Amino acid sequence: MSEPKNPLQMLFHWAEKQPDKPYLFQAVNGQWHSYTWGQVAEQVRRMAGALKATLPAGSKVAISGRNTAHWFMADQAITMAGMISIGLYPKQSAEHTKYILEHSESRLVFVGPAQDIGDFIAAIPKSIKTCAFPYPEVPACDYQWDTLIAQHPALQAVPPIKENDLLTLIYTSGTTGNPKGVMTTCGNFTFAARGLLETLPPHPKGERFFSYLPLAHVFERGAVEFTSLYFGAEVHFLEHIDKLAEQLAQVAPTRFFAVPLVYGRLQAGVLRKLPQDKLDRLMKIPILRNLIRRKILKGIGLQNARICVSGAAPLPVPLMNWFKKYLGVEILQGYGMTENTAYATFSRPGKNRVGAVGQAMPGAHLRIANPDGNGEGEIQFRHPACTPGYYKDPQQTRDIYTADGYLRTGDKGRVDKDGHLYITGRIKDIFKTLKGKYVAPAPIEGAMARNTDIEQLCLVGSGLKQPILLVSLTPAACAKARADLEKQLVADIETVNAPLEDHEAIAKAIVVKDVWTIDNGMMTPTMKVRRSEVEKRYAGILTANDGTRAKVVWE
């Protein structure tokens, strides 16, 4: 296979090969608008020229707002101008926004459409200029996209970009402390692209992506933005989170990328219209089975999806099995982290192993460090997509690498005889109860996800006599009778506890009133539960119920 071009070169490759073919599809007020490859390339050239005329060479430039066509164009224009991009999460706290902009020394922020956009703009230090993307809900800024590109000539020459050149800083969302700026180079991206093209090449008939997960995160940036450039694929952008179900059905992507929470909501949407007992009865009738399956798939927008991928957090096995059994959808799990450009392991189509997160990608050099008697130890990688380090933090850069150059993931896992990786927990998430024995929460939480009434869950136990499960319920479950919910929760807890050691067993479930969100600080922008925040928020009710007999407690 020939050496792949870098992402910017791929943009101009397609702009030359198929200039009139639509590339980016943007919905505004429910109406779809498209940009061809040629139009995108021209906008990138013009904005690159504007940036070079406006900012010092090598400047850091941030991009904010929901995923949009202009997010992509700004990112590539920043690279073309020889500058470094910084992605900001749409619902990031003002404190973290200010920290990232100051830490990265950003000179300019592209402001995209977002909820609470006024609060976001207020968090931008006064010394940093702003440029508004051309969307109705974005207020006037120091510069306007359309005006700025009209004032400057297009940059024609594609700059030479070396393997070690820094393209972007991807700030980790983090469950504790300030975000860390992961330096990501041209070489990191091109190595990952080479492996992707080898493992999951584009379909000859073309690919269509649906972009809605945060582009500030490495998963969406790599899986959708950069993959679209290498595949020559269409990208359709979600206009607003409230339109997810509606616009996913409109787009019907050929490859669908989601976090487990999204798959859980798709399942819940199906079961609201077709309860599980009725679905079971219909699926037993051969003449109806395929008809019902096709109707459900079209209703949720997955009828064309040749590949469905879950990443960013473990996918509960019961949820994976449900999609396979009832919809015939094989959800492939991928595993990676910002520090290795999300290039680590992936499940191959037709070779998926339930509970595993796939096999090592080509050249990924996976190892389990210091395995215990069960073959479990820290998951580590060494390959050219691993970051050169954290921006302005040489000490933490040294700490994430072993003496022989392997990246420490902080995740604990094992590899079976066929090379499939199983993640068994987060080394730092492991807690010790008052009995003095350690508990790994991840596998237990994954097993409890069999209960479809649960929206979110978090197992805690540090300083407690026995682990306690905190859960929030789905909207549909909130309408059910408490007695029925309690009966199912108790039954599932007993099933999950059966194979566990006594000190690991769930003592009870506490049903909390509030859903955990990014806004209330319980979730990261990438939809991971902040375990430490959950423990602090519910410390009183946990202590009060530690050792009591009730199996289910309602907040």
Query: Which pTM value belongs to this model?
Result: 0.83
Domain count, the chain: 3
pLDDT of amino acid 177:
67
pLDDT of amino acid 1:
41
Establish if 253 belongs to a structural domain: no
Q: Backbone phi, then psi, for 214, in 5-degree steps?
A: -60, 125
Establish if 272 belongs to a structural domain: no
Residue 12's nearest CA partner among 80, 78, 64 is 80
Q: Examine the domain organization and report whether 444 and 468 are in the same domain.
A: yes
Q: Which of these three, 190, 221, 254, is where a domain ends? A: 190
Q: Examine the domain organization and report whether 68 and 182 are in the same domain.
A: yes
Distance CA 25, CA 16 (A): 19
Q: Quick one: tokens of 254? A: 């050929």
Q: Examine the domain organization and report whether 434 and 498 are in the same domain.
A: yes
Q: Examine the domain organization and report whether 171 and 81 are in the same domain.
A: yes
One-letter identity of residue 429? D
CB 34, CB 246: distance < 8 Å: no
Distance CA 217, CA 44 (A): 22
User: The tokens 């215990």 sit on which residue?
Assistant: 372
Establish if 517 belongs to a structural domain: yes
Establish if 244 belongs to a structural domain: no
Q: Backbone phi, then psi, for 153, in 5-degree steps?
A: -70, 150
Distance CA 474, CA 454 (A): 6
Q: Examine the domain organization and report whether 139 and 101 are in the same domain.
A: yes
Q: Which of these three, 190, 212, 238, is where a domain ends? A: 190
Query: What is the Cα 532 distance to its own chain's centre?
Result: 20
Establish if 222 belongs to a structural domain: no
Q: Examine the domain organization and report whether 64 and 182 are in the same domain.
A: yes
Distance CA 439, CA 73 (A): 46
Q: Examine the domain organization and report whether 422 and 438 are in the same domain.
A: no
CB 68, CB 26: distance < 8 Å: yes
Q: Examine the domain organization and report whether 481 and 360 are in the same domain.
A: no
Q: What is the CATH number of the domain that holds 393?
A: 2.30.38.10
Q: Examine the domain organization and report whether 385 and 507 are in the same domain.
A: no
Q: Examine the domain organization and report whether 76 and 161 are in the same domain.
A: yes
Establish if 40 belongs to a structural domain: yes
CB 136, CB 29: distance < 8 Å: yes
- Long-range contacts of the stretch 283-288 (C-beta < 8 A, 24+): 283/326
pLDDT of amino acid 174:
56
Mean pLDDT by 10 residues, the chain (555 residues): 77 97 96 97 97 96 97 98 95 88 97 92 95 96 96 90 94 74 95 92 95 92 94 96 94 94 90 93 92 96 95 81 94 93 93 90 96 91 97 94 95 94 82 80 85 89 91 88 93 93 92 85 76 87 90 93
Q: Examine the domain organization and report whether 363 and 419 are in the same domain.
A: yes
Q: What is the CATH number of the domain that holds 523?
A: 3.30.300.30
Print the domain residue range for 397: 356-427
Q: Which of these three, 427, 459, 480, is where a domain ends? A: 427
Distance CA 459, CA 438 (A): 13
- The order of strands in the sheet holding 255-258 is 255-258, 307-310, 331-335, 345-346, 359-360
Q: Examine the domain organization and report whether 173 and 92 are in the same domain.
A: yes
Q: What is the CATH number of the domain that holds 107?
A: 3.40.50.980
Establish if 323 belongs to a structural domain: no
Establish if 279 belongs to a structural domain: no
- Per DSSP bridges, beta strands 552-554 and 508-511 are parallel
